[in-house]
Structure 1
Amino acid sequence: MPPRKQPSERQRRLGAELRKLRVRAGIPGDRAAALLDADRARISNIETGRLDVSRNRLYKVLRAYGCPPGAYFDALMEMAQETGKGWWDDYRDVMSHRALDLAELEARTVTIRAHEAVVVPGLLQTADYARAVIAGVEDDHSHLDRWVEFRLSRQRILHGLQSYHVVIPEAALRMVVGDMKIMRKQLLRLIEVARLPHVTLQVFPFEMGPYSSFVRSFVVYGHSTPELNTLYVEHPISADFVGDTDVIHDYETMFERLASLALDPIDPDTPPESQEPHDSLRLLQHILYELR
Structure 2
Amino acid sequence: MRATPTGRQLRLGTELRKLRERAGLTATQAGQLLGVKQNQISNMEAGRVGVSPERVHTLACHYDCSDRDLVASLSDMTGDRTRGWWEEYREILPTPLLDLAEVEHHAHQLRTAVTVHIPGLLQTAEYAREVFRQDVPELPPPDIEHRISFRIKRQAVLFRKSPTPHHAVIHEAALRMQFGGAEVTRQQLGHLLDMSEREHVTIRVIPFSAGTYAGSGQSIYYFLGPVPQLDTVNLDQSHGPVFLDAAAQLEKYRVLLGRMESTALSHDKSRDFIHNVARSL
TM, length-normalised to structure 1: 0.88
For residue 109 of structure 1, report the CA deviation from its aligned partner.
0.9
- Separation (CA, whole Å) in 2 of partners of 1:223 and 1:58: 18
Instruction: Report how far residue 162 of structure 1 moved.
Output: 4.9
- 1:93 is aligned to 91
- 1:269 counterpart residue number: none
2:97 and 2:272 map into 1 onto residues whose CA distance is: 34
- Closer, same or farther: CA 123–153 of 1 in aligned 2, 3 Å: same
Structure 1 residues 150 and 27: alpha-carbon distance in aligned structure 2, compared to 1, 3 A threshold? same
Quote the sequence identity (%): 35
How far has the Cα of 1:69 moved from its partner? Answer: 6.9
Seen in structure 2, the aligned counterparts of structure 1 residues 239 and 150 have a Cα distance that, compared at 3 Å, is: closer
SS in 2 for 1:136: coil
Deviations 1:47-70, CA, capped at 9 Å, x for gaps: 222333344433321221123373
After superposition, residues 173-252 of structure 1 pair within 5 angstroms as 173-211=175-213, 214-252=216-254
CA deviations 1:136-182 (Å, max 9, x no partner) are 21422223322211110100101434521111111111011112111
Change (3 A) 1:236 1:262: same
Correspondence for 1:171: 173
69, 72, 78: which one aligns with 1:71: 69
Q: 2:276 aligns with which of 271, 279, 286?
A: 286
Shift of 1:224: 2.1
Q: Give the residue type in structure 1 aligned to 2:158.
A: L
CA RMSD of aligned residues (A): 2.0
- Counterpart residue number, 2:140: 140
| Cα distance between partner residues in 2 of 1:86 and 1:226 | 24
Q: C-alpha separation between the residues in 1 aligned to 2:215 and 2:69?
A: 38
CA distance in 1, matches of 2:151, 2:37: 42
Between 176-185 and 155-164, the greater mean CA deviation after superposition: 155-164
Question: Shift in Å at residue 88 of structure 1?
Answer: 1.1
Matches within 5 A, 1:250-289: 250-266=252-268, 279-289=269-279
Q: What's 2:121 paired with?
A: 123
Counterpart in the other structure of 1:51: 49
147-156 or 214-223: which moved more? 214-223
User: 1:44 deviation in Å?
Assistant: 2.3
> 1:212–1:172: structure 2 CA closer, same or farther, 3 Å change rule?
farther
Structure 1 residue 228, shift from structure 2 partner = 0.9
* Superposition deviation, residue 99 in structure 1: 0.8
Offset, 1:84 = 5.6
Task: Quote how far apart the aligned CAs of 1:38 are.
Answer: 2.8
Question: 1:213 Cα deviation (Å)?
Answer: 7.0
Q: TM-score when scaled to structure 2?
A: 0.91
Contact 2:107–2:223 (CA under 8 A) maintained in structure 1: yes
Choose 182-191 or 257-266, whichever is displaced more: 257-266
Deviation at 1:209, TM superposition (A): 1.5
Q: Which runs of 5+ in 2 are unaligned?
A: none
CA contact (8 A) 1:167 1:262 kept: yes
Superposed displacement of residue 204, structure 1:
0.9
Distance in 1 between residues matched to 2:107 and 2:28, nearest whole Å = 35
